[in-house]
Amino acid sequence: MLKQERFSKLLIYSGAGLLALVLLAVAAIQAGASQTARLVAEGKQIFRFDTFGDEDFWGGQLRLHEAIEGEEFGGVGPGVSPATALEVGLKVDVGALPESLRRQLRRGQVDLDDPAVTLALLKLNAVVGVQGFFNSDGSLSSVGITCALCHSTVNDSLAPGIGRRLDGWANRDLNVGAIVALSPDLSPFETLLGVDRATVVTVLNSWGPGKFDAELVLDGKAFNPQQVTDGVVTGTNVSGATLIPPAFGLAGVNLHTWTGWGSVPYWNAFVANIEMHGKGNFYDPRLDNADQFPIAAANGFGHIESPVDLITPKLPALHAYQLSLLAPRPPKRSFDPEAASRGQALFEDKADCASCHIPPLFTEPGWNLHTPEEIGIDSFQADRSPDLMYRTAPLKGLWTHTKGGFYHDGRFATLRDVVNHYDTHFGLGLTDAEKSDLVEYLKSLGDGPRGDDD
Ligand code: HEC
Ligand code: HEC
């Protein structure tokens, strides 16, 4: 009797103990999950809104804000109207607009030729990737840029260029060069490159929409003297700018950028310091190579130290957010599923694309670089990077960046042109029908939420 009582007590105690353990574990998992969620949410804010103090460059040195506000508001020139801003590819976040303004925009009651409206939009924090700083009288005191400028767009839900934010999408409408060329003072670039303002402006205007040259301030090489594809010269003095790539679908990918400069956090630190001119620390002794990177070596870009560091503490959250961005799946009726499934078989077998673009990553797990000869193009851009190679581009979400072409410099206008190139380069002997099937497969790639049109 006594024994039985003790046994049942033991059972109750151990049951209670087990329950407590389970509850503790659940609480710990929840706490962990919410910490992770917090990190990602923090990263989203940084990606969208953080300038890392770069307004001291864009406003403070280039005085870009003066060109934006125009003479009438204490700046210089005619000012930038919303129509002009949209023309150079800037995007407006509909989520930041009050309902009354949305209604007026829908009814065409907003004067899109008035620079005052641009200032109002900046005050609402509605211009994607551009942060305005204001004086007490309402005029602009400075302007800074964020990652979202180049790596976000909008879904045009209200009007072309005005809609819901799409983080991670490459803004292939954005004419970075034309925007920078508006600056009243380009002397930082003149000094760095050792040329006059007219030359800086010529280079900036050579980029065109959807492109930016991240290596210009390292090597001063603005033009590819000879673009060669499959042994044929396809252009001379082609702009050295590269297409803006998406910042989604990068989890699991080893080396980033068209030429594999490093990991996501490497490149984030690089861009925030060297391109955006935020305040931080940056270390990369590869930039001390004066033969390859004369400007970077002379200016110590591989050893940047700042008394205030507004970048390094933000790298973990920024990294987490980027890895959370999946490559969106294409809208349902945007490709032919039967052709795509035939294309998949070709991709993996006859066309052998999968030997480099290994599914489901679509780049190599591990060292994902190739020589220019391997992929049949000139070495200009590869030679501007530490490893002198091209990175196997991850292909998920290709359908979101068909504007501006394909490969790092957009040399192939369409996916069909890309496939034709591989057919020539590797002697694949693909029929027309097989090429079409491959293209349908490329259009179908993505693993995130379905694209907008559904
Ligand atoms: C002025 C436009 C611009 C801004 C601002 C910008 N980027 Fe980029 N980004 C580019 C371009 C262009 C490349 C390609 C560079 C290359 O290959 O040389 C790139 C490449 C990348 C890549 C590599 C993508 C891949 O496919 O591997 C990542 C990641 C990235 N940027 C993240 C960021 C983050 C984070 C920020 C903010 C800290 C940022 N970028 C700010 C234009 C920009
Ligand atoms: C030897 C490795 C290799 C093979 C095989 C290969 N690719 Fe590529 N692919 C690359 C590299 C490297 C790049 C980046 C080129 C650049 O940046 O200029 C690339 C780029 C691309 C792009 C452009 C992506 C973009 O964002 O612009 C597409 C599309 C593509 N490949 C499709 C294919 C298809 C289809 C096949 C098979 C017919 C194939 N690839 C075979 C290495 C390869």
Last residue of a domain, one of 119, 147, 167: 167
Ligand 1, atom nearest to 214 Cα: 18
Comparison of pLDDT for 3 and 127, the residue scoring more: 127
Tens of pLDDT, residue by residue over 252-290, are: 999 999 999 999 999 999 999 999 999 999 999 999 999
pLDDT of residue 405: 98
Residue pLDDT, tens place only, 296-312: 999 999 999 999 999 99
Confirm or reject: Cβ of 400 under 6 Å from ligand 2.
Answer: no
pLDDT at 315 over 70: yes
User: What is the spatial distance between Cα 319 and Cα 39, in angstroms, rounded to a whole number?
Assistant: 9
- Residues of the domain holding 310: 264-324
Closest C-alpha among 190, 387, 393 to residue 284: 387
Closest by Cα among 235, 189, 450, 218 to 334: 450
- To the nearest whole number, what is the mean pLDDT of the chain? 95
For the chain, the residue count is 454
C-beta neighbour count of 169 within 10 angstroms: 25
The reply to whether 82 falls in a domain is yes
Q: State which ligand 1 atom lies nearest to the alpha carbon of 129.
A: 5
C-alpha span between 169 and 321 (Å, rounded): 14
Ligand closest to 352 (CA) is 2
Domain final residue, candidates 121, 136, 167 = 167
Return the pLDDT at 454.
42
Within a domain: 90: yes
Cβ neighbour number for residue 6 with a 10 Å cutoff: 10
- Ligand 2 centre from 308 Cα, in Å? 41
Asked whether the predicted pLDDT for residue 22 surpasses 80, the reply is no
Model confidence band, residue 453 (pLDDT cutoffs 50, 70, 90): very low
Domain annotation covers residue 97? yes
The finding on whether 414 has its CB within 6 A of some atom of ligand 2 is no
Q: What is the mean pLDDT of residues 337-362?
A: 98
Mean pLDDT over 99-113 rounds to 97
Q: What is the pLDDT of residue 426?
A: 98
- Token pair 């919410």 is found at 34
pLDDT for the residue 403: 98
Structure confidence by residue, pLDDT tens digits, 131-187 = 999 999 889 999 999 999 999 999 999 999 999 999 999 999 999 999 999 999 999
With a cut of 90, say whether residue 425 has pLDDT above it: yes
Which ligand lies nearest the alpha carbon of 266?
1
Q: Is residue 15 part of a domain?
A: no
129: in domain: yes
Does residue 399 line the site of ligand 2, with CB under 6 A?
Answer: no
Q: Would you give the distance in Å from CA 4 to the centre of its chain?
A: 69
What is the pairing mode between strands 162-163 and 92-93?
A: parallel
Residue 354 Cβ < 6 Å to ligand 2 = no
Mean pLDDT of 424-450: 96
**What pLDDT sits at residue 452?**
58
Q: Is the CB of 258 under 6 A from ligand 2?
A: yes
Dump pLDDT digits (tens) for 72-96: 999 999 999 999 999 999 999 999 9
Pocket of ligand 1 from Cβ distances under 6 Å: 145, 147, 149-151, 176, 212, 214-215, 242, 244-245, 247, 250, 256-259, 264, 267-268, 271-272, 276, 318, 322
Q: By three-state DSSP, how is residue 369 classified?
A: strand
Report, in this order, helix, strand and coil percent for the chain, each rounded to 5.
45, 15, 40
Decide: 398 and 445 in contact? Cβ < 8 Å: yes
φ, ψ of residue 183 to 5 degrees: the values are: -60, 130
Task: List 154's β-bridge partners, or say none.
Answer: 165
Is it the case that residue 2 has pLDDT exceeding 60? Answer: no
Please state the atom number of ligand 2 nearest to the C-alpha of residue 353.
Answer: 37
Whether 310 contacts 279, CB under 8 Å:
yes
Average the pLDDT over 433-454 and give the result: 88
In a domain, 131, yes or no: yes
288 assigned to some structural domain: yes
Give the total number of structural domains in the chain: 2
Beta carbons within 10 angstroms of residue 2's beta carbon: 6
Atom from ligand 2 closest to the CA of residue 245: 26
Atom of ligand 1 nearest to the CA of 253: 27
Q: Is 73:119 a contact under the CB 8 Å cutoff?
A: yes
- Backbone φ/ψ region at 430: left (φ over 0), alpha (ψ -120 to 50), beta: beta
The residue that leads in pLDDT, 192 or 452, is 192
240 within domain boundaries: no
Strand partners, 369: 391
pLDDT in tens, 207-251: 999 999 999 999 999 999 999 999 999 999 999 999 999 999 999
What 3-state DSSP class applies to 142? strand
Please state, in angstroms and rounded to a whole number, the distance separating the CA atoms of residues 50 and 311.
9
The rounded distance, in Å, linking the Cα atoms of 376 and 399 is 24
DSSP-derived secondary structure for 315-362: HHHHHHHHHH-PPPBPPGGGS-HHHHHHHHHHHHTTS-GGGTS-TTTT
Last residue of a domain, one of 291, 309, 324: 324
Q: Which pLDDT belongs to residue 97?
A: 98
* Cβ of 351 below 6 Å from ligand 2: yes
Is pTM beyond 0.85 here?
yes
Would you call 207 exposed, middle or buried from its count of C-beta atoms within 10 A (0-12, 13-18, 19+)? buried
- Separation of 275 CA from ligand 2 center, angstroms? 27
